[in-house]
Structure 1
């Protein structure tokens, strides 16, 4: 059996040799909108797509970095939301994840998904999600991970996992320049992709040209 999965758009995607040409923003939006954060243990349902959009819209993320922030968990569209403690128990998983992240970066030109500002916004959202969406519990892994991290002031009211089918991924005259929260998950993730700065190959079908305002990619550090 080949290590492949069939995506929502009918593409067979290899987990061993991921091809950037097989990556579709529609697949990422659809899968993440239907993938619950925290292995499904949050209350109520809260999708990875909504988390990704909230990170991208966070005021701590500068405009030139928002597309990368939107895509920081895009590999989970193909791997699922694996709890971090399980990742630590299976070191080989990180290598599979890295290959898929590299393919996503090559497809969309987002080379800053591990930027420190994205990580800072991600942790702020994590602290907020812990406060608003998870049950109360005694000290544990959460307190270690979130030590010194303050949640955002606004409380999270999750959306429902209902991205609309057949939504055009092309930008139209009526596409808003900004999207207010709460977001419409998969549909909103696709729309936001086409309104953020630095249009990439997901919009043009071509290789992303270099952009003077986008900082040079930093070297990847092993997790």
Structure 2
């Protein structure tokens, strides 16, 4: 059993999450994701996972169901393991399985369709947003072509240069609006 302590002082096992671990999931996500940097922090400027989620919410402007998926699609990262890059995650099947179980449990608790987390519209937008973020924020490397490797960029950066408190507040307000609870 692998236990870690979350922001509230509760011990959780990220490989065997329970329903009670998702109490105050909005606050857990806001606190954690407003601190966790994208791309393992290898950026020219700070940019958090919360900003990434809020940017994806803006991309789906007008579709509350997709916005709810967008703001919560990184919930597993908020539960303790942080932002693990996709190439690394592919080599860690136990992490990928735990992430899928967490998304399924979260979807059930928040009355979302679990399958929506895996639909092409979400995956394509998430990947396109990642390409846009990488091109804007990662160190320049002429021998690495993000678009060739991952596809076309979409969306825009969310409040680049904002403070952790600003991002956390925006995240909590949007979460409350979409789910009616934290």
Larger of the two Rg values belongs to structure: 1
Q: Secondary structure at the match of 2:164?
A: coil
The separation in 2 between residues aligned to 1:91 and 1:157, in whole angstroms, is: 34
Aligned to 2:128: 124
Q: Deviations over 1:19-47 (max 9, x none)?
A: 12221221111001110000110121100
Q: Deviations over 1:176-199 (max 9, x none)?
A: xxxxxxxx3222111101113xx4
Q: Deviations over 1:24-78 (max 9, x none)?
A: 2211110011100001101211000010011011147723321111111111112
Q: Deviations over 1:76-124 (max 9, x none)?
A: 1121111111112222221122222222222222322222222222123
Aligned to 1:14: 13
The separation in 2 between residues aligned to 1:56 and 1:46, in whole angstroms, is: 16
Aligned to 2:118: 114
Aligned to 2:42: 41
- The RMSD of aligned alpha carbons is 2.3
Aligned to 2:29: 28
Q: TM-score under structure 2 normalisation?
A: 0.84
Structure 1: 5+ residue runs without aligned partners? 164-183, 204-223
Q: TM-score under structure 1 normalisation?
A: 0.70
Structure 2: 5+ residue runs without aligned partners? none
Query: For residues 87 and 51 of structure 1, do their structure 2 counterparts lie closer, same or farther at Cα, with a shift above 3 Å needed?
Result: same
- Length, aligned pairs only: 177
